[in-house]
Amino acid sequence: MNILQVLPELKSGGVERGTVDLAKHLKQHGHQSAVISAGGPLVGDLTSAGVTHYVLPVHRKSPLSIFYSVREMSKIVKLEKVDLIHARSRVPALIAYLVSRRTRVPFMTTCHGFYSRNLLGRVMGWGKLVVAASHIIAQRMRDDFNVPHEKIRLIHRGVNLKEFRLREVKPEDERRRTTVIGLIGRITPIKGHPLFLKAMARVTRVFPNVKIQIIGDAPKPQYKEELLALTRGLGLSGIVEFLGTRYDIPELLSRMDILVVPSVGEEAFGRVVIEAGACGVPVVGTRVGGIVDIIEDGRDGLLVGPGDPRQLAEAVLRLLKEPELARSLAGSLRRRVEREFSLDLMFEKTLRVYQEAVAKVKILVIKLSAVGDVILIIPSLRALRKKYPEAKISVLVGRKSRKIIRNCPAIDDVIVWQEGGAARFLSMLKMARILAKESFDIVVDLQNNRASHFLSYFCGARIRAGHDNHKWSFFLSHKTGGAAASLSPVEHQFQVLRLIGADPLDKRLELWTEKEEDEKIAGLLESHWVSPSQTLVGINPSSSLRWPTKQWPLENFARLADELARHNVRVVVTGSAEDAAYTQPLFGMTRNKPINAVGKTSITELVSLIKRCQVFVSSDSAPMHIASSVEVPLVAIFGPTDPRRHLVPPPKAQVFWKEVQCSPCYLRSCPIGHLCMKKITVQEVLDSVLYFLSLSRGASGEGVSDGKMRHALAGP
């Protein structure tokens, strides 16, 4: 792999040293590694190990600086043939995100601290994967920025056990030398320096032979001056040393008797704690943040509440008075560091995350339209799973379609699109934000309208495939030259899949039911005295209420139901709750009352009901596609729409489509009185149903071939 790490600067600090250590490890183990920063003292350590370093102003927040860095980093990514960009701070993460969009190279982040709830803070959750250095950081990223739990990987920082070696202190040496108590960390308010000094004033009253070392830089000199004044006021000037920035931390720790971590705010992790543990130095800390990930109170060290100098002093005095306890705690912490916080373990976990981020593909399929259209994407989902067997495949569908797709074995997740009505654009923005958190690599846009193209782009996916239909298709990165009008619906989708390397062949539709749904339908039919051996034919009179031109006259369905009853066939009428008002008159038109299942089944229960039918009669609608999916013999009735573009027929199918001069018109209001639908007679539909029933009963006869179906399509 070729990894590019990006961080603001390479000065002293845990993040900076961790970056350098990881870059060197990658280089030593056969991977390519490069680092981008604004420079610093640790650059020499990098370059001496053969790691390439590029200087860019990635620490600056100005728009011009960010624009410059994005442009230059994009060049570096292409030059170095980078596989993954790893950002370790907020401004670098924003730059890396923009570079990722330009270069189609994935990026990830590591959260080393706590971030304000603003745009720059949110960017840290935009990576394909988000590494948290402690449980508290992971929780903050979930709570503050709604980062999905499945994107977060916990990797504690590690310590180099060869550099931070276990010190050897003999009991006689302990009696001869001055006791050294230290604090290592930047001189900032969160680190608790005033608390530490006040606690040390109490300790020195009991143990006057103590030397106190404060190690770390002071970003704000004024704050350090305040600490110096406090030191003088507490009478500690003669025993407290401010050593500033030091690069010999292992040596300093080897001479310490106790390390104190008196943080008053939540520590992201506490790298100095594991460094002290590696050296065998007992630790007293406050019970905040990531420190509790490392120390179990009374086992690996002593923890006290934050902000109380008396408790802190008592814990330090306890270790000074009980050297056996101090040695026991230090030994336990060393063993825990070896087991959980070694540098090698951190490298191993990080490499696994790198491999996952590079290899694992996240795919979003968009199909926002009606239930029937969603059923038609099943072959495409199956083809995607075959092409990307290890990918996570999610599908964005409308609320009514979520149940029909949920049991598809080719997908991992269903995301529901909430139509915004008058506030459609706001809904699109809200959904784009939700999708962006998932860090999709590929979007397969099977909806191909303005909303889906918009979502494809703004969800952040690097590859966005769809049709070039001039409906904001400039948002797509891969697009067809435009689909031919005569293509079947599945082949129309397959054009898009071929843009991303899939080679789909299997056009079969499929649907799945659960045991509870089958049992409910069995109970429904039993309540109407339908035995398992009885012949059952389903009819679906209604199409979408927005398409009255698709509906065969209701009186024709009523006559069909009565004619089937004369042949000892039970008829069940299907439809959604929205269809109830339209279909209700049918039951008053029939002499032999059919079973009324309109509005009495969920969409998945309807699948189970149609499976129970020997033949299904339907206009161009979702139930028609359900019958195709479960391979029930289908008699399909078409009018203003072209069945060649909208139907995937089951093995046994008869399609009635009476072409007239204006067909297919795709009009929702007919100016010539629905002539195309009225030309389809009850007798020819009845003959087709009876023919299929004769086949199911084992009678001899010619099957319905593709040739016969084509003849029906070309009928007068």
Structural domains in the chain plus CATH codes: 2-154 (3.40.50.2000), 171-341 (3.40.50.2000), 361-498 (3.40.50.2000), 515-713 (3.40.50.2000)
pLDDT on residue 669: 87
Exposed/middle/buried for residue 254 (C-beta within 10 Å: 0-12, 13-18, 19+): middle
Residue ranges of alpha helices (H) inside 234-308 are 249-254, 271-279, 291-294
Residues in contact with 113: Cβ distance below 8 Å, sequence separation at least 6, in sequence order: 137, 268
How distant, in Å, are the alpha carbons of 96, 140, 290, 345 from that of 119? 14, 15, 24, 33
Q: What torsion, rounded to 10 degrees, do the Cα atoms 207, 270, 253, 7 define?
A: -140
Residues in contact with 150: Cβ distance below 8 Å, sequence separation at least 6, in sequence order: none
Q: Average pLDDT, whole number, for the chain?
A: 90
Instruction: Identify whether the C-beta of residue 635 lies closer than 8 Å to the C-beta of residue 616.
Output: yes
Q: 56 forms bridges with which residues in the sheet?
A: none
**pLDDT(171) > 70:** no
Tokens 């209701």, located at residue? 554
Instruction: Identify whether the C-beta of residue 247 lies closer than 8 Å to the C-beta of residue 216.
Output: no
pLDDT on residue 63: 95
Instruction: Identify whether the C-beta of residue 572 lies closer than 8 Å to the C-beta of residue 594.
Output: yes
Phi, psi for residue 184 in degrees, rounded to 5? -120, 120
Q: 181 forms bridges with which residues in the sheet?
A: 212, 258
pLDDT on residue 663: 82
**pLDDT(649) > 50:** yes
Q: Residue 591 corresponds to which tokens in the numbers above? A: 């002499």
d(CA 569, CA 456): 49
Average pLDDT over residues 590-599: 93
**pLDDT(703) > 60:** no
**pLDDT(692) > 60:** yes
The pLDDT-based confidence of 422 (bands split at 50, 70, 90) is: low
**CA 147 to chain CA mean position, Å:** 9
| Residues 435-466 as b or e (16 or more Cβ within 10 Å = b) | bbbbbbbbbbbbbbbebbbbbbbbbbbbbbbb
**pLDDT(702) > 50:** no
d(CA 290, CA 267): 5
The pLDDT-based confidence of 336 (bands split at 50, 70, 90) is: very high
- 143, containing H or E segment: helix 135-145
Q: Which of the 8 DSSP states describes residue 114?
A: -
Question: Which range, of 164-178, 191-205, 488-502, averages the lowest pLDDT?
Answer: 164-178
**pLDDT(712) > 50:** no
The pLDDT-based confidence of 699 (bands split at 50, 70, 90) is: very low
* pLDDT over 90, % of the chain: 70
pLDDT on residue 278: 95
**pLDDT(437) > 90:** no
Average pLDDT over residues 420-424: 66
pLDDT on residue 170: 60
**pLDDT(641) > 80:** yes
pLDDT on residue 485: 60
The pLDDT-based confidence of 509 (bands split at 50, 70, 90) is: very high
Work out the angle at residue 236's Cα, subtended by the Cα atoms of residues 231 and 238, and round it to the nearest 5 degrees. Answer: 120
pLDDT on residue 18: 87
pLDDT on residue 714: 34
Tokens 């389903």, located at residue? 538
- 558, containing H or E segment: helix 554-566
How distant, in Å, are the alpha carbons of 210, 283, 381 from that of 378? 74, 59, 5
The pLDDT-based confidence of 707 (bands split at 50, 70, 90) is: very low
Q: Residue 455 corresponds to which tokens in the numbers above? A: 């979502």
Q: Residue 16 corresponds to which tokens in the numbers above? A: 């900076």
The pLDDT-based confidence of 715 (bands split at 50, 70, 90) is: very low
d(CA 467, CA 456): 12
The pLDDT-based confidence of 33 (bands split at 50, 70, 90) is: very high
pLDDT on residue 129: 95
**pLDDT(566) > 90:** yes
Instruction: Identify whether the C-beta of residue 7 lies closer than 8 Å to the C-beta of residue 29.
Output: no
**pLDDT(704) > 60:** no
Closest listed residue to residue 557, CA positions, set 543, 569, 541 = 541
**pLDDT(593) > 80:** yes
| SS3 assignment, position 400 | helix
pLDDT on residue 481: 78
Is residue 298 left, alpha or beta, with left meaning phi > 0 and alpha meaning psi from -120 to 50? left
Average pLDDT over residues 421-440: 83
Instruction: Identify whether the C-beta of residue 610 lies closer than 8 Å to the C-beta of residue 522.
Output: no
The pLDDT-based confidence of 716 (bands split at 50, 70, 90) is: very low
Question: How confident is the model over 606-629, as pLDDT tens digits?
Answer: 999 999 999 999 999 999 999 999
Quick check: bond before 57 cis, omega within 30? Answer: no
Question: How confident is the model over 511-544, as pLDDT tens digits?
Answer: 999 999 999 999 999 999 998 889 999 999 998 7
pLDDT on residue 164: 92
Closest listed residue to residue 548, CA positions, set 374, 371, 674 = 674
Higher pLDDT, 486 or 378: 378
How distant, in Å, are the alpha carbons of 136, 363, 442, 452, 503 from that of 447? 41, 15, 15, 6, 20
Question: How confident is the model over 111-127, as pLDDT tens digits?
Answer: 988 888 888 899 999 99
Tokens 């026991």, located at residue? 328
